[in-house]
Amino acid sequence: TQYALLMRDTFEFDVNESVRGVNSLMDQFGISAEEAYNLVAQGAQNGLNQNGDLMDIINEYAIQFKDAGFSAEQMFNMLNNGAETGTWSVDKLGDAVKEFNIRASDGTVSDAILENAKAFGMSKQEAQALSDEVRTGNVDAYQALLDKLKEVDDDTQRYQLGVAMFGTMWEDLGEETVLALMNTQGEISKTSDALNDLNETRYDDIGSALQGLGRTLQTDL
């Protein structure tokens, strides 16, 4: 409750919406409420709520990131990396991962690897091995595939391969954004002190603390 009220007072997140979003993170990734709120706070600080829909994005796409094999931390860092390219919609970033997850699960991505082994600079045996790893949801295999995609010299061929893996999201977001999105590295961490830092900053004087207490009492009543 304290974290939900802090999110409301700092980022204007509706309490019910933030609780639903955090519950989704807890259910999908097996993390604690504090870890989940830490991730949400860092996401908001980095502009992931630019359209006021971060909680909706979490509720809709957390399961897609989880099913694709990504962790909660990787999810937030991926969204942040994609957003830093200047994309107008963070929701579209989640949609791109959803499209990739569907295509990886149904074998579309694996088939594209096998059919374009030469373009990827791989032997048939190497393509088969990578294809099998992608089909099982191996995050390292995803990165290896994206690295191979970057090395494709022919622009038209690279575009076609991108569409095969990400569908219309490759067209909507563009190559730079999608490649940034699939980078799982970043500084957002579930063990961050973001919540404590926010608490100390938001309620750093008695007036702010009393205002926060008043809103808490109103919520309880």
Q: Which residues contact 213 (CB under 8 A, 6 or more apart)?
A: none
Percent of the chain with pLDDT over 90: 78
| Integer Cα distance of 175 and 43 in angstroms | 23
Convert the pLDDT of each residue in 91-134 to its tens digit. 999 999 999 999 999 999 999 999 999 999 999 999 999 999 99
Q: Structure pTM?
A: 0.88
| Integer Cα distance of 180 and 203 in angstroms | 36
Q: How far is CA 80 from each of CA 58, 86, 191, 193, 201, rounded to the nearest angstrom? A: 13, 10, 17, 18, 23
Give the pLDDT score at 198. 85
